[in-house]
Structure 1
Amino acid sequence: MYVLTIDQRGSSTDADRVPDLISELAGLTSAAFERSVGDELQGLVDDPAEVVDIALHALRSGHWYVGIGVGTVVLAPGSSPREGTGTGFVAARKAVDLAKTSAGQVPLSVVSGSIGRAAEVPQHAREGAVACANAEGVLRLIGRLIQGRTAAQWRVVDRLRLLQDGGGRHGSQKRVARELGITEQSVSRAVLRSGWQEEWAARPAAAMLLAHAHSQIEGDR
């Protein structure tokens, strides 16, 4: 289980964006997100690919700090995540706090729920911590691509994703050009400059690293 804690940036001088993000995330995952405290929301996610989707969606707007905790979760059936305990929650809190101190970097952190002094932590848990750090590195690289996109590039890549999610592949760029009323060359440039292909090539690597971290931290080898 992955614990995601997402906190709004600059909330003291901005509108409350938590309800909108909760609504948006409902379209990405079946996991329930809810306000935990103040301008912060929290959710528990099983699928590492969904963790990647959620984290990158939050990073896109530039309004959020994203913390991902990988560890144990103790939660009674039907209970709110706010009632949960376990190392995953502790790790998520540390992760979002670290994201807030990432000056000049993409505001995301992934933290292992392994506990104890280094000498006491089993080898597989140490490997899980390394996988968390590697997942963080990949997610920050993708996040940098996402946060650097222009509005025009987003119009193109958002439309491409809709078509590809619907099973469309061959001729998708031609169709996007036609639908947006722009040239195929403009679509090609947007795809190239936005890092669209690099993003989707790297997403599975981030998910794989998160899955490996979870298996090692939980000891399920």
Structure 2
Amino acid sequence: MYVLTIDQRGSTGDRDRVPGLLAELHRISTGGRFERSVGDEVQGVVEQPAEVVEIALHSLRSGQWYVGIGVGAVDMPLPASPREGSGPAFVAARLAVEKAKSAASHVPLSVVSGGLRRGGAPLPAAEPGIRACANAEAVLRLIGRLVQDRTDAQWKVVDTLRMLQQDTAARHGTQKLAAAKLGITEQSVSRAVLRSGWQEEWAARPAAGMLLALAHDAVLEGQT
């Protein structure tokens, strides 16, 4: 399992953004359930690594959230509320979001193995899982940098292209359709795609998901 703990950045001088994030996560999450855990923090449990990638990058987009991902076992059966969940992955998610806060000047995301004791010391046989989580974190941060650095104008193009590509009738010529929809030239769309790193992001997303899956297997193996 993957436990995500997402904490609002600069919440003391900002409005409460948790309700808005929860509404967004409910739209994009197919299997995970998210809710406010404490203060300006959101927590949820997700089974599929591709969904973890989607949620993490969506949260990084606004620059308003710290993203912590805990990888490993959770106590079963899962309770109805994520707030009542327990197990190594929940402990790891707490460590991960605190680690993400220390990376605030970079990409505030961290992936932590559930093969750690509560204080952060590794359990026996935990090293492969720790390394695998570090690899997943590195790739997610690279992709997250592309997401964070996009301008509003680039996001308009990217969001339009993604919407069009979800339409099976618009598999081809999507840049031309996006240009018409946005009232700009095809050249402007092409430049936005190039400078935004959109194609690179989507090419790398499966790799990030694969690394999270490998990390999950390695962490669980180290816990047995």
Same fold by TM-score, threshold 0.5 exceeded?
A: yes
C-alpha separation in 1, matches of 2:149 and 2:66:
17
Contact 1:75 1:81 in 2 (8 A): no
Does 1:115 pair with 2:116?
A: yes
Shift of 1:28: 0.9
C-alpha separation in 2, matches of 1:27 and 1:68:
20
C-alpha separation in 1, matches of 2:76 and 2:153:
43
C-alpha separation in 1, matches of 2:17 and 2:24:
11
C-alpha separation in 2, matches of 1:215 and 1:24:
29
Unaligned runs of 5+ in 2: none
C-alpha separation in 2, matches of 1:140 and 1:211:
17
Equivalent residue number for residue 3 of structure 1: 3
- Cα shift readout 1:72-127 (whole Å, capped 9, x = no counterpart): 11143542111111110010000000011114210000000113665x622xx422
Equivalent residue number for residue 60 of structure 1: 61
Equivalent residue number for residue 209 of structure 1: 211
Equivalent residue number for residue 75 of structure 2: 74
Please show how residues 1-221 of structure 1 align to structure 2 within 5 Å. 1-30=1-30, 31-115=32-116, 121-122=124-125, 125-167=126-168, 168-219=170-221
C-alpha separation in 2, matches of 1:115 and 1:187:
46
- Cα shift readout 1:147-175 (whole Å, capped 9, x = no counterpart): 11111100000011111122332100000
C-alpha separation in 2, matches of 1:114 and 1:164:
40
The residue type equivalent to 1:52 in the other structure is V
Contact 1:75 1:83 in 2 (8 A): no
Unaligned runs of 5+ in 1: none
User: Could you tell me the percent identity over the aligned residues?
Assistant: 66
Give TM-score scaled by structure 2 length. Answer: 0.93
Matched residue count: 218
Contact 2:92 2:116 in 1 (8 A): no
C-alpha separation in 1, matches of 2:139 and 2:105:
17
C-alpha separation in 2, matches of 1:163 and 1:14:
34
Give TM-score scaled by structure 1 length. Answer: 0.94
C-alpha separation in 2, matches of 1:165 and 1:94:
36
- Cα shift readout 1:38-69 (whole Å, capped 9, x = no counterpart): 00010000010000000000000000000000
C-alpha separation in 2, matches of 1:79 and 1:166:
34
Contact 2:66 2:100 in 1 (8 A): yes
C-alpha separation in 2, matches of 1:77 and 1:53:
22
The residue type equivalent to 2:208 in the other structure is A
Contact 2:78 2:85 in 1 (8 A): no
C-alpha separation in 1, matches of 2:13 and 2:92:
28
The residue type equivalent to 1:215 in the other structure is D
C-alpha separation in 1, matches of 2:78 and 2:190:
48
Contact 2:7 2:67 in 1 (8 A): yes
The residue type equivalent to 1:16 in the other structure is D
C-alpha separation in 2, matches of 1:78 and 1:95:
22
C-alpha separation in 2, matches of 1:133 and 1:115:
13
